Every structure is written in structure tokens, then in C-alpha cells.
Structure 1
Amino acid sequence: MLTYRAILTVSMVCGAVIDRADDTGVYYKHLTLPLSTFVGENKVEYGCEAFPLKADEYIAEYLPIGERDDVHHITVGMCDEPYSDAAIWECVDPNHVCKNTKRVFLYSWTNGAPGWTLPKDTGIYTGDRARHFILQVHGRDDISDECVAEFAHMRLKIRTNSGKTMMFCLCDSLCESYDDCCYNAKNFTKTSLKQAKEQLTFLEKASCEAVKYGQMDGVNKKKGIFMVSSPPKIYPSTKLDLKQKCENNMTSDDPNDFVPVTELFTGVAFKNRHCAVCNHVQDWVSWMLETHC
């Protein structure tokens, strides 16, 4: 599986939620689920509810609202399509959260924990297409009669634009080489010194390549993919044909000439197999190419 690097003011009226962005491009999204879901004849153990998720925004804060001793835990996830069309459905089965796809976890909260405010000028990117927030609540069936009329409530602070200093961060084993580690990223001791040096050597020749040949899953057409797209600066004149294939692969009729590849040791992506060979890579895997008529 390949991953691409490229990640509300609210009024409450009788349970309805109205989102209004202020002049700074910030608004709050309130995700609520009635506690009456967990008591009575038709009670559920885990309740799920779907909320619209806009594209190209940034989540800056998760905040549980109210005295939250009436639920065990709350999870906020993301789905292309909810598992059910019902307003609230039983989702104790992990396969009953999203329809046909796995849920993307965004935030989990347990009883007694604080919320999570991201550092200034950072945010979790919501993606390049509209999807759905999924609020999953593990409720209690022993709540008092006074609490039954209340709601499990999670407030999200959302930015409508990135701003000049907005950024995203990652916590994978390549973040040190790409210099995009989150502030709380772990120290990846599994990344050897040799591997890190090779990553940096490759990335010096990397650039953001535009997406071509139709769509690529998970990549915005208006953006690109960070990959090595040129041979070393000093390259033998006897191999100029290979150098040309690396840099100008659009003229080939062979799909294998333009499909990107990933080097197995470092995980670095290359524009095509010729760029990998130019950079003395021996072990790589080609990205999957699908054609649809």
C-alpha cells in the first residue's frame, strides 16, 4: 500500500447545529449524540452518528463539552460514506461504522481526559473532497434520569483556510528526512543511520511532480507528489539515454516507463523506474496502475 505525502461560531437551537465562520476563517463544529440512545428498550452499546465534513479545511482542536462521566469514551472518525442512513445506529462492530471502507481515526477521548488543542499554526487536514465525520460513543446504561435528556458532545475548532503559516505534520519513519515531524513524534530508533543518510541523498534530487494520467487515489489533481525526478548531478555521458528517459518519460507508449516506483529500503518514491536506476537503486516496487474503459 502506497501513501502519498503530499494531512466553528455555532448556534444550538433545539438540537439543530448552525455553523458560522467568523472573520478569521475559524468556526466550531458541534458533534452531539443524545444519551437516551443508551437506555430503554431500544438501547445500543455503541452509538454512531454522521455529520458533514467539508474539504480543504483544518481541524485545530477537539474539546469534550460538559461533565463527561455519563459515557465511557468518544471517538471522532472520518468516512467516505456512513455505514447506515439512520440518524443513529448501533456500531459496536468496527465494520458497521463506514460503508465499504475502513474508518480514518481522527481523535479518541476517554472518561476524565482533557481535550486536545493543536499547536499554533498547525491543523489536521480534512482532505480534498467532502466526506463525513463519524461520532462514535460508548455509552452507559446506568445514567441518571436527569442525564437522559443530555448529549454526548464534542466540539471541533476548524480553520477554513491554511493561512501563510499553516502546515501539516507526520509521525512516520520518514518525517526526519522530510523535516515534517509533528512536535510529539516519537524518536524512530528503527531508522538506521545508513537508511537516514540514503533518504537525504535521494531527497536532495526530489521535487513535487504534477499528477498525470488521470486520477490517483488520495491525491488532489491540483497538487503533486514529492518524488525523485532526476539522476545525480554527475552522470556518465555514456548513459544519457537513460537520463533522458528519467527526465522526459512522457513520450513513451510503455506504461512501465512512466509509473512511479518506491525504493524498498528507504521508502523514497521515484518518478519512474529509469530515475531509480539512474540513482543506483536495485530493489524497488512499481506503483499499481489501473485502467478503466
Structure 2
Amino acid sequence: MPIITVPTAAGHRPPIKAVFFDLDGTLVSFQTHAVPHSAEQAIKRLQEQGIKVLAATGRSLDALGPVRYLNFDGFITYNGGCCVTADGHVLQRHALDPEDVQRLLAYTAHQPFPYVLMYEDRVAVNQTTPEMEAMYTRLNLPVPPVVAREKTDITQVLQANVFLGPEAELAFMQQVMPHSVATRWTPLFADVNPQGISKRVGVDVFCQHFGLEVSETMSFGDGGNDVTMLQYTGLSVAMGNAAQPVQDSADYVTAEADQDGIAQALRHFGLL
């Protein structure tokens, strides 16, 4: 059953004027690679009420094709590294420190593991493995091309994915990428972004753009990279498939995506 931890009466909170949705595992089903019909209809209902609907994802800009038909009002991509309006205007863009990227290349030359480098217009990997291929299959995305270390552009990398386990993450980040921050939604790899960048920062960017108060926002998520956003928005919902720390960071825990979790939570808070 859903867990509610805050009062829900509409009269005791500001009206919600914008809703931020994580994509994979939240709005997009891992099983079907599609947005459930109930979530599509829920988003349409929000839009009919004049509520802004925004995507908040670790995906790159060129990986948004499967959800663009929902007519989002904006996109937080690369976990806040690049925020873009519906008509393509870039509100914010922050790249990884080139020194951190250079150290990543040098480190993996001697202690090899897979990584992904995400630019505004392309994605590249240093090698492919069965685990990486399985991850891209799970996201219904093509495996990016392999780019040799000596041909790698270390500038303008908006996000990296490093295929390290959680137990190795802290030491690696301190030693190799000290100007960056790691979050993860899977034990398989960590998302690496510039220090100070998060989905919470993306929420602020769009609040400023639309002239909204943070108390007038709501967010949905299921992964560790959603926690800053869930803890920040006026209302927050964790999906039923989320790990316990993610659920603990939200006001409400709903069902999984394929069990109509989006619509269920919006009805709970009186938005449908």
C-alpha cells in the first residue's frame, strides 16, 4: 500500500503548477519501454489544467525521442547538466571538468573498466561489455560507438557513466574525478556530473524560467539520482520499485509504473 508521510489536504499547501517526471523506471516502463496509457492520460489532464509538465532525466538530449510526443514544457537532461525548453532553448549547460575526464582516461588505461561519455550531440564508449549491452537494451537505446582513448574529446562532456560497483565509487571519485559528483540508480554504474549539478538544480532553473515557487512543484522518481529532486520539490513521489533510501526521501510512495503508479499518486494528491 502507498505510504503517506505529509498532510495531503489541498487547502494546506500551495497549488501545484509544475510536475517533474524522471523517465526510466518512473514514467517509462522497464518492461515495455513505453509510457503506460494511464500515465499518458494523466499528463494530458495536467496539461489541460495549465500545469507545466517537465522531464527530469539522466538521459542525453538525443535519447528523448520516445517521450517527446508527450509535449513536455521542458527537459532536465544529464541529471541537471543541461536544461532545455520545449522549443530547444538552452537555459543551463555545465560540462565536466576536462581534468577529471583526462584522469578517467588515464586511470582506465591501467585499470580498465567501461565508461560512457555523453556530449550534447553524441555519446561515446571506450569499450562494450555484455553488462553494458544489457543496460542499453533495458533502456531501449542503441549501444554508442566505441571511440579510442587517443581520439576522445575531453571537453564539453556533460555526463559520464562509470561502470564501477558502489563499493569502489567513493575512492574512485576522490582519486580520479574530484571535481565531479556521482549518483546511481543501478548497482551496475554511476552517473557522474559536475560538482554542484543535480536534478534539484534543474528544478530551480525551470522555476526561475516559469516564475514559480518551489513549493508549487511536484516530482516523481525511482533512483538515487532523483533524491535531491524528491527532497526539494513541494510534493514528491517515489515509485514502488524504488530502493528504500529513495522511498524515504519522498512524501508518498506509489505503485510501479506498470501498475498505474503515476495516475494513482496524482489522484491521491487531488490533481486528477
TM-score by length of 2: 0.24
Bigger relative contact order, structure 1 or 2 (CA pairs below 8 A, ≥6 apart): 2
More helix by share: 2
Tell me which structure has the larger Cα radius of gyration: 1
